[in-house]
Structure formats: C-alpha cells, structure tokens
Chain A
Amino acid sequence: AQSVTQLGSHVSVSEGALVLLRCNYSSSVPPYLFWYVQYPNQGLQLLLKYTTGATLVKGINGFEAEFKKSETSFHLTKPSAHMSDAAEYFCAVSDQGSNYKLTFGKGTLLTVNP
C-alpha cells in the first residue's frame, strides 16, 4: 500500500529565506507524485507533479521538487520565501497498484515571518 510522510507539521521561515518542505513516500511501483497548496478557507491547488521523465519538476509560484527514487523522496523547495507563500502544503502519491487513487500526507503548515 502506498503512503506519504511529511516531516514537520509546521515549518517557519523568514521572508527571503529558502523554503524546504520534506516528503517521503512508499510505493511498490513507479509513483506519480504531487504537491498541492491550500490557502486559508480555500480548496487545494496543484503546485506541481511528477509522472515520468525529468526528475526535477518546476511548478507555479517559483516552487520546484526533485524526485529521488533512491531516497523515496520528493521534497519541495523555493529559493526565496514570500509572505504570500504562507499556507498548508500537501504531498500526495498515486500509483498503478492503487489504481491511481491519491494518498495524501498530513500536510505541512508554512509560516513566513517578515
């Protein structure tokens, strides 16, 4: 069965600092990997996704993530945090074994300090 672990339920950074949100997954077959963002009182918005091909994936709002099969990781990064990045971030995995149903991590709340 697939699963997702997001290390750190709450991450706090200063404006302009590097953002690093960690995600490790478990999947017995090649996974599809996703990062979604949820702003307060809103639905989830897709930031980026990995299916096949290039392991470094660029998304919206300057975010990117790298698929590392050997480490079963898909960490999300942004070189310079902006106040508007404050939100909850969810990592998700799907694969053929689960008929591509999405399994989400518990989420990481990102706080950006001025």
Chain B
Amino acid sequence: DSGVTQTPKHLITATGQRVTLRCSPRSGDLSVYWYQQSLDQGLQFLIQYYNGEERAKGNILERFSAQQFPDLHSELNLSSLELGDSALYFCASSRRSLKETQYFGPGTRLLVL
C-alpha cells in the first residue's frame, strides 16, 4: 500500500459526459501528479500540482483539467468524454518536486461507452 488513495476504482460513463476523479496523496506529500495509461499511448504524464498550484504540464488535453485543494487532495476533471478517453488514470504523490520518488495510487479505470 503506497498510501495514495484514489476514488472511484471504476467508472463507466457515456460519450459527451463529464467525470471527476479524486486523489488523496500520502501524508506529508505536497506534490500530486496525474497519469493516463492506455493501450495505444502507454503511460503518459498529464499534470503536476504542488501545494495548490499547477507546477508542470504534460500531454493533457484541453478538455481535461485538474486542481489541488487546501487539504492537498486533488481532482482530475474530464469533460466532453470520447471513446478514446477510456483508460486507467493514476495519481501519484511526492514530498515536493519531480526529482523525488513518486508513489502511485491504485488507479481509476474509466470506460467511456
């Protein structure tokens, strides 16, 4: 158990809909990262938040957004969903920066029908 929690574990929705994925980092970790794992693209870094502020961006679509709240939990919002958004979404956390070891949560499996 990494100490990172993600909810929900599974999510099934329809095209065009909007969903919110939630992540709680390990106790004491200030940075939260979001990744997408799909069969065709593999594991891709989406975005990093540090202590409430966006710190780094990867291959995140404009339809996707994230935020980190004062209690340090984070939410990833996916809107106007398409079939191709079906994937496993991981959250990871670290003490501060990208240079440190990231600890991954169990993931949320999203299926868009």
Which positions in A face B, CB cutoff 8 Å?
32, 36, 41-46, 49, 90, 94, 99-107
Contact = CB atoms under 8 A, between A and B. Distances in A.
A46 B101 contact: yes
Contacts of A104: 42-44
A49 B107 contact: no
Given A43-B4, A49-B101, A102 B107 contact: no
B2 A45 contact: yes
Interface size class of B (residues with CB under 8 A): 20 to 34
A43 B45 contact: no
A107 to B, nearest CB: 7
Interface string B34-74: 00000000111100100000001010000000000000000
Contacts of B92: 44
Nearest to A51: B99
Contacts of A43: 2, 4, 90, 104-107
B101 A94 contact: no
Interface in B54-113: 56, 58, 90, 92, 97-99, 101-107
